[in-house]
Chain A
Amino acid sequence: KAGVTQTPRYLIKTRGQQVTLSCSPISGHRSVSWYQQTPGQGLQFLFEYFSETQRNKGNFPGRFSGRQFSNSRSEMNVSTLELGDSALYLCASSLGGSGEQYFGPGTRLTVT
């Protein structure tokens, strides 16, 4: 089976712009979660989607949003980018509710 794929792998944006990141889960996986990884804050949970519904959300401002499509692919959007949004954004997919997740390679976002 193909693993979790994320596009793009690298992205450079300017403060104030918005960005959309894409994630394709492993075939058959219905749960997709997003995490932000930074040197200062480590790995932090953003949100989780299951069957097109957001079923859990982390402590991030409303500028961070996401959605899931009927084919389980997911996108996350960050509006009005700030310098502090520079991070590695990781997507993970899961088959069930055990927390066992499989991660993609991430999208490295740099905000200048």
Chain B
Amino acid sequence: AQSVTQLDSQVPVFEEAPVELRCNYSSSVSVYLFWYVQYPNQGLQLLLKYLSGSTLVESINGFEAEFNKSQTSFHLRKPSVHISDTAEYFCAVSEGRGATNKLIFGTGTLLAVQP
């Protein structure tokens, strides 16, 4: 069965420093990959997605993620974080390819940005 691993449960970082949140998935079949962000007491917001095409995908607020098929990874990066980036980040995979929208989530990484 498909699984998603986020090795870091919490990542503390100082404001304006770079950050990388790691995500690995288990399946070798074609998948769709996502990063979602959750702020306290809110639902999940789609941050960015890889469906096909360029392996480097970017969000409007400076985050980027690179799909690496050989390493089955989809790490999230940001060159300079802000206090407002403090939130929990979830990596997710879908292997439905049209048959289902079921998402399998990692356990989440809490990004704690300190001044």
Contact = CB atoms under 8 A, between A and B. Distances in A.
Interface of A: 4, 31, 33, 35, 42-45, 48, 50, 55-56, 58, 90, 92, 94, 96-106
Given A90-B44, A98-B94, A100-B51, A42 B100 contact: no
Nearest to B31: A99
B45 interface: yes
A48 B102 contact: yes
Given A56-B100, A98-B94, 20 more contacts: A33-B102, A44-B105, A45-B103, A48-B101, A55-B100, A90-B43, A92-B101, A96-B98, A97-B99, A98-B49, A98-B51, A99-B34, A99-B92, A99-B94, A99-B101, A100-B101, A101-B46, A101-B103, A103-B44, A103-B45
